[in-house]
């Protein structure tokens, strides 16, 4: 093992030789778990197979984001492959219906003859809606990964490894990961002679996409799903996915986790934030290249609109914050703000101000509506579900989410009380320690060590993400050969160094300029301490090893 690889593993707490081997070289057969270890999986599979045998009408009810939509595609592709026709997918409209199940949709689905509903990435907190479904004669199988509340929905079966009594070895799967385990279980229990053994591996493109995009820890089984998911994504025959990548100038053969996080994910999410989530589902599930091409262009346009909307809201938010005292928790909003993108604004403000942020807007700009909806993001110290739960009952209409992010709804007449209530709750909840040393350094290297051997030693730990951050390296006293800007608007920074052989080594930083590093001598001939990550660009299919700037000192 390369000494640098060993150092990076130890930095991540992976010290046992066997654990290191398992981490570096994931094995599908060895490192994926029996899906029936998940509580209630047997019961859920029996009910689904019974429904298929009886020709019952099944609905797959999926969330509208880049976890629920790929998870819905997994079950869509499964039923299609099995030749079962009496099913359809339902994805609620973010602005008109909101997150999770809603009573109107449940009633309508029952009127349309549905007797079995399978949720994807939602349902764990929808006690009333699941109760209604059961009362109407519709069985519900909840598959979810969000934190359960004190009372579980009275579903036919709840598949969520975060619930009490579940001993599955990896309780941190994303929603699509749970859906993939359900598909795996159905295939292993049913009698499907026309389906090749191991066919479920083709569904790993969707499971891997969500595992990376939903930022669950890339350890344990999640690492396997992300690792093999990327391999399948690079070969995926989905026409819509291929068109999306072409439109974004991403070479599918060299797809990385960064392409998922910064190219695919935002376009999938743009559908629900700016339009109709079904468009993203159609893009990923269609077998028609024409539809795939149209959807890819549509999502790219929506993503452009999303960026403009976020920029406008951020400008307004910063103006408001300049005029008031910044407290331990920031709460702000505007009835004109689009609810679909308030989470992005909350995330940017949480990073900028290093504290929890709650941002609200009004669904679809409904004039006269009492209910406001919003998103919240953590500063990394506070569990957002615990924080919202610590607020007295009666203030939130609804609340839920993950450790570091969540969603909430509140009546307009109560929103002025929210910041005070959250600050009081903030004083009570447990807080984690957060590093105050700036950018964490994994190891110190020299410019001469920027080569293929070092890149390979680092790349063995890929894919990177939550729980396995991309390693950062310090290049001390690196002499700058040149400094330039690039891009259409010349708003990206390029630093050029030379190794001892005289070869050019480039480090780039998007949306950076020398003025972002006050006190640092960023000019040709100057010397800097560079903190950077390794990356390989495949622009125009030409592999180029370079560095990505994380900090200059």
* Residue 328, pLDDT above cutoff 60: yes
As separate numbers, helices (DSSP H) first and strands (DSSP E) second, the chain gives 19, 17
pLDDT at 399: 87
Q: pLDDT-derived band of residue 365, with 50, 70 and 90 as boundaries?
A: very low
| HEC string for 42-82 | HHHHHHHHHHHHCCCEEEEEECCCCCHHHHHHHHHHHHHHC
All residues at 6 or more sequence positions from 543 whose CB lies less than 8 Å from its CB, including other chains? 254, 536, 537
Cis link prior to 319 (omega < 30° from 0)? no
Residue 306 · residue 339 · CB < 8 Å: no
pLDDT at 367: 47
Over residues 87-95, the mean pLDDT reads 93
**CA–CA separation, 405 vs 413, rounded Å?**
24
Residue 229 · residue 213 · CB < 8 Å: no
Q: pLDDT-derived band of residue 364, with 50, 70 and 90 as boundaries?
A: low
Phi, psi of 539, rounded to the nearest 5 degrees: -60, 130
pLDDT at 434: 66
Q: pLDDT-derived band of residue 53, with 50, 70 and 90 as boundaries?
A: very high
pLDDT in tens, 444-494: 999 999 999 999 999 999 999 999 999 999 999 999 999 999 988 899 999
pLDDT at 458: 98
**CA–CA separation, 453 vs 61, rounded Å?**
47
**CA–CA separation, 474 vs 446, rounded Å?**
8
pLDDT in tens, 374-430: 999 999 899 999 999 999 999 999 888 878 889 999 999 999 999 999 999 999 998
The per-residue DSSP string of 217-254 comes to --SHHHHHHHHHHHHHHTT---HHHHHHHHHTT--GGG
* Residue 279, pLDDT above cutoff 90: yes
Q: Does an H or E element contain 131, and which?
A: helix 127-135
Q: Which domains, from first to last, does the chain contain?
A: 30-198 (3.90.1640.30), 324-426 (3.10.310.30), 443-552 (2.40.50.460)
Distance of CA 220 to the CA centre of its chain: 17
Distance of CA 300 to the CA centre of its chain: 18
Q: Which 3 state secondary structure label does DSSP give 390?
A: coil
The per-residue DSSP string of 464-531 comes to PBTTBPPP-EEEEEEEPSEEEEESTTS-EEEEEEE-TT--EEEEEETT--GGGSTTS--STT-EEEEE
Over residues 305-333, the mean pLDDT reads 95
Q: pLDDT-derived band of residue 368, with 50, 70 and 90 as boundaries?
A: low
Question: CA geometry: angle at 329 spanning 325 and 335, to 5°?
Answer: 85
* Residue 366, pLDDT above cutoff 60: no
Give me the chain's average pLDDT, please: 94
**CA–CA separation, 76 vs 286, rounded Å?**
10
541: left (phi over 0), alpha (psi -120 to 50) or beta: left
Q: pLDDT-derived band of residue 435, with 50, 70 and 90 as boundaries?
A: low
Over residues 518-534, the mean pLDDT reads 92
Q: Which 3 state secondary structure label does DSSP give 437?
A: coil
Tallying the residues shown for the chain, one arrives at: 553
**CA–CA separation, 236 vs 217, rounded Å?**
24
Q: pLDDT-derived band of residue 539, with 50, 70 and 90 as boundaries?
A: confident
Residue 217 · residue 172 · CB < 8 Å: yes
Q: pLDDT-derived band of residue 370, with 50, 70 and 90 as boundaries?
A: confident
CA distances (Å), 540 to each of 69, 252, 422, 534, in order?
30, 12, 50, 19
């Amino acid at each position: 093992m390369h000494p640098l690889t060993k150092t990076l593993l130890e930095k991540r707490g992976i010290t046992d030789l066997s654990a290191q081997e398992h981490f570096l070289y994931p094995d599908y057969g060895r490192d994926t778990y029996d899906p029936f270890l998940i509580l209630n999986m047997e019961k859920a599979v029996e009910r689904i197979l019974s429904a298929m045998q009886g020709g019952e009408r099944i609905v797959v009810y999926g969330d509208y984001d880049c976890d629920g939509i790929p998870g819905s595609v997994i079950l869509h592709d499964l039923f299609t492959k099995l030749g079962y026709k009496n099913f359809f997918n339902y994805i609620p409209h973010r602005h008109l219906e909101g997150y999770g199940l809603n009573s109107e949709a449940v009633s309508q689905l029952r009127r349309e003859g549905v007797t079995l509903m399978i949720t994807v990435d939602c349902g764990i907190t929808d006690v009333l809606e699941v109760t209604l479904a059961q009362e109407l004669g519709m069985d519900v199988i909840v598959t979810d990964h969000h934190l359960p509340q004190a009372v579980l929905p009275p579903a036919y079966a709840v598949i969520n490894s975060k619930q009490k009594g579940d001993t599955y070895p990896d309780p941190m799967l994303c929603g699509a990961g749970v859906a993939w385990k359900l598909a795996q279980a159905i295939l292993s229990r049913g009698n499907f002679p026309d389906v090749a053994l191991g066919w479920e591996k083709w569904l790993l493109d969707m499971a891997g996409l969500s595992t990376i995009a939903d930022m669950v820890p890339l350890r344990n089984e999640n690492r396997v799903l992300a690792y093999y998911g990327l391999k399948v994504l690079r070969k995926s025959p989905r026409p819509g996915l291929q068109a999306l990548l072409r439109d974004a100038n991403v070479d599918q053969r060299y797809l990385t986790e960064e392409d998922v996080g910064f190219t695919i994910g935002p376009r999938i999410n743009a559908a629900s934030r700016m339009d109709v989530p079904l468009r993203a589902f159609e893009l990923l599930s269609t077998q028609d290249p024409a539809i795939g091409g149209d959807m890819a262009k549509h999502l790219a346009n929506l993503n452009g609109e999303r960026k403009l909307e976020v920029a406008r809201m951020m400008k307004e938010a910063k103006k408001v914050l300049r005029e008031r005292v910044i407290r331990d928790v920031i709460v702000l909003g505007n009835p004109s703000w689009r609810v679909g993108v308030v989470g992005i604004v909350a995330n940017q403000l949480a990073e900028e101000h290093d504290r929890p942020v709650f941002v609200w807007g009004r669904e679809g700009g409904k004039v006269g509506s009492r209910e406001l909806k919003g998103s919240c993001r953590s500063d990394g110290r506070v569990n957002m579900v615990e924080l919202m739960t610590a607020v007295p009952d009666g203030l939130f209409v609804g609340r839920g989410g993950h450790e570091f992010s969540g969603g909430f709804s509140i009546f307009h007449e109560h929103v002025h009380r929210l910041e005070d209530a959250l600050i009081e709750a903030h004083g009570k909840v447990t807080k984690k320690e957060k590093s105050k040393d700036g950018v964490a350094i994994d190891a110190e290297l020299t410019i001469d060590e920027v080569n293929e051997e070092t890149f390979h030693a680092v790349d063995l730990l890929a894919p990177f993400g939550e729980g396995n951050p991309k390693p950062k390296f310090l290049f001390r006293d690196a002499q700058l050969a040149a400094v330039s800007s690039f891009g259409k608007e010349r708003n990206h920074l390029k630093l050029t160094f030379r190794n001892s052989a005289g070869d050019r080594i480039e480090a780039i930083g998007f949306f950076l300029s020398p003025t972002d590093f006050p006190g640092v001598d960023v000019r040709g001939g100057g010397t800097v301490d560079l903190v950077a990550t390794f990356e390989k660009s495949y622009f125009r299919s030409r592999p180029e090893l370079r560095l990505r700037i994380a900090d200059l000192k």
